[in-house]
Amino acid sequence: MGIVRVSGPQARSMGEQLTRLSECRPRYAHYGPFYDSEGQVLDRGISLYFPGPHSYTGEDVFEFQGHGGPVVLNLLLKSVFKLGARPAQPGEFTERAFLNDKMDLAQAEAVADLIESTTEQAALAATRSLSGAFSSRIQTLLDSLIYIRLYIEAALDFPEEEIDFLGDSELAQRMQQLRLDVASVKQSVRQGKLLREGMSVVLLGQPNAGKSSLLNALAGDDTAIVTDVAGTTRDVLQQAIHLDGLPLNIIDTAGLRDTQDVVEAEGVRRAWAAVEQADRVLLLIDAERGFDHGDQAIVDALDRHSTNFDYLWNKIDRLGQAPKIEKKSGQWHLSISASLGEGIDLLSKHLKEAMGYKQETEGLFIARQRHIESLEAASKAIECAADQLSVGAGELAAEELRQAQESMSQITGEFSSDDLLGEIFSRFCIGK
């Protein structure tokens, strides 16, 4: 099936001309032919009319649901364009829904996130955001913040009322509760961002340390070529997997060593470029060979990059050792056998804990980096407001709360620049 959707004030008249319907009943499925401007039948299918504001975009919407072949759909599109319609921009239907107050910005983003979901957990979280769960949490924070701000401003504007906001225990309690609630929402937002964006993990080590074997063990298939020849991997390999709903982008890199081979040297350069962007770096060491100067050179380079990493002692099966995990001098050491899959469960659990991922996603919503940044800015302003209140600087406290309110309102789009809106909706697919 293929769908052509038209939105705007002329949608109904265009629909009536192309279907020859004498009456378009709202939200009623009409089956019949679709005509071109010369009266020739292009296809037969279902037509639906949704009058505004009770439609997805808030405008009049007409849908033609016909056969999904590209040729017949193109003929139908040409007929619609001939009547004055134009092709929609990416995300324009959802943008119109936002501009017509059918949804806020967080809900609009959730539409794209639902489409792009790679796990069931992410899809469910996006659905909750689309239904308004995230926006509701933000609005609750805003209501509390606005109450405190108005209370302080009233004390400043009407001094004759002798409102003592410094000695008001209720105000202090409300401020403390607001800080706790913001912290709780920030934690949920971080979880939501993890569900949406996942985690980038780089496998680093000398040639033949077992990086490709580990990639295959985590992926569950032979993504990378595994041989006893050192330096088999000469480029960066990426594999997307899921750990209990957490999207994971595993990056297998070329073995790190000094080389005169131009291709291998480029692979080493790309390996370090991947490290710069990684959420986590796993340094694989051949436990049978032991830690040598080559491994030390990599550790020194990681230290120069100020990169946090974990030690993975691989090939423990050759030493007759069992998998384990322990912390030494502030760094994690895991003993595994990538080729036999031993210790992979320990590694998976460690990665989830390192990112603060919780598998229980009940009530969780999808979120983005900009949401975290807005909440961080709001949280910082609220802390400053609390400090100003403690020294009796009511005007400064009220201004900090105003800034916190503005930062929070950017999440739902109440305060958003045109550039931000353009960036968000341009990432949508056509037709949404």
Both 226 and 79 in one domain: the answer is no
- Could you read off the pLDDT of 385-406 as tens digits, one per residue? 999 988 888 899 999 999 999 9
> Pick from 87, 120, 150: which residue ends a domain?
87
Separation of alpha carbons 204 and 427, rounded Å: 33
Average pLDDT, the chain: 85
Report if residue 182 sits inside a domain: no
Q: In this predicted structure, what is the pLDDT of residue 222?
A: 52
Considering the entire predicted model, what is its pTM? 0.74
Both 81 and 211 in one domain: the answer is no
Q: In this predicted structure, what is the pLDDT of residue 233?
A: 43
Which stretches within 292-359 are classed as H helix? 293-304, 344-354
Report if residue 412 sits inside a domain: no
- Could you read off the pLDDT of 319-364 as tens digits, one per residue? 999 999 999 988 999 999 999 999 999 999 999 888 888 766 677 8
Q: In this predicted structure, what is the pLDDT of residue 258?
A: 54
Separation of alpha carbons 419 and 432, rounded Å: 19
Of 276, 256, 275, residue with least CA distance to 267: 256
Separation of alpha carbons 94 and 109, rounded Å: 9
Calculate mean pLDDT across residues 99-111.
92
Calculate mean pLDDT across residues 243-258.
76
Comparing 76-80, 208-212, 269-273, 339-343, which segment has the lowest mean pLDDT? 269-273
User: What percentage of the chain carries pLDDT values higher than 90?
Assistant: 49
- Could you read off the pLDDT of 34-65 as tens digits, one per residue? 998 888 999 999 999 999 999 999 999 999 99
Report if residue 393 sits inside a domain: no
Statement: residue 314 has pLDDT above 90: yes
Q: What is the CATH number of the domain that holds 61?
A: 3.30.1360.120
Q: In this predicted structure, what is the pLDDT of residue 356?
A: 81
Report if residue 310 sits inside a domain: yes
Report if residue 328 sits inside a domain: yes
Report if residue 186 sits inside a domain: no
Q: In this predicted structure, what is the pLDDT of residue 408?
A: 94
Report if residue 374 sits inside a domain: no
Give the pLDDT band (50/70/90) at residue 218: confident
The 3-class SS string of 236-286 reads CEEEEEEECCEEEEEEECCCCCCCCCHHHHHHHHHHHHHHHHCCEEEEEEE
Q: How far is CA 341 from CA 68, 219, 348, in A?
A: 45, 11, 12
Contacts of 221 (CB under 8 A, 6+ apart): none
Calculate mean pLDDT across residues 418-430.
64
Q: In this predicted structure, what is the pLDDT of residue 75?
A: 92
Calculate mean pLDDT across residues 258-264.
54
Q: In this predicted structure, what is the pLDDT of residue 303?
A: 84
Residues 112 and 428: beta-carbon distance below 8 Å: yes
> Pick from 87, 102, 134: which residue ends a domain?
87
Both 80 and 208 in one domain: the answer is no
Q: What is the CATH number of the domain that holds 323?
A: 3.40.50.300
> Pick from 37, 60, 87: which residue ends a domain?
87
* Domain extent at residue 75: 2-87
Calculate mean pLDDT across residues 187-216.
87
Q: In this predicted structure, what is the pLDDT of residue 229?
A: 38
Q: In this predicted structure, what is the pLDDT of residue 8?
A: 95
Report if residue 415 sits inside a domain: no
Q: Could you give the number of structural domains in the chain?
A: 2
Q: In this predicted structure, what is the pLDDT of residue 230?
A: 42
Statement: residue 416 has pLDDT above 60: no
